[in-house]
Amino acid sequence: MAEAAAVDCKSSETAAMQWLALAITPGLGPTKARKLVDFFLSIQALFKASLTELESAGFALCQLRHWELAGRENLPKTN
C-alpha cells in the first residue's frame, strides 16, 4: 500500500514539473500550452513526443530550441 502511495506521489511531482517546464517555455502562454496538452491527450504524452511531433503540433522552432538547450531529455518523463 505504501508503494502505491509513493508511486502516486512521484507521478504527481513529475506531472507538476512537466507543467512547470511547459509554463516557462518562452512564447508559450497558458492557452497554447493547454491546446498542446489537449492535442497530445496528456502532459505525459506531450513530454514523450518527438521533436517532429511537437513541431507538427504547433511548437515554434525557437521553443523547440529552448527545450533542447534546457536539456529536455533531463526533464521528468513517465514510463
Q: Give the SS3 label for residue 57.
A: coil
In a domain, 79, yes or no: no
In a domain, 51, yes or no: yes
Degrees to nearest 5, angle at CA 19 with 13 and 23:
140
Question: What range does the domain containing 48 cover?
Answer: 2-74
CB 19 within 8 A of CB 54: no
The pLDDT of residue 8 is 58
Averaged pLDDT for residues 53-69: 75
DSSP E strand boundaries for 3-76: none
In a domain, 64, yes or no: yes
Closest by CA position to 21, among listed 6, 10, 36: 36
Return the CATH number at 10. Answer: 1.10.150
The pLDDT of residue 66 is 67
Say what the pTM is.
Answer: 0.67
CB 75 within 8 A of CB 18: yes
Q: Dump pLDDT digits (tens) for 1-52.
A: 545 444 456 678 888 888 888 888 888 888 888 988 999 999 889 888 887 8
Total domains in the chain come to 1
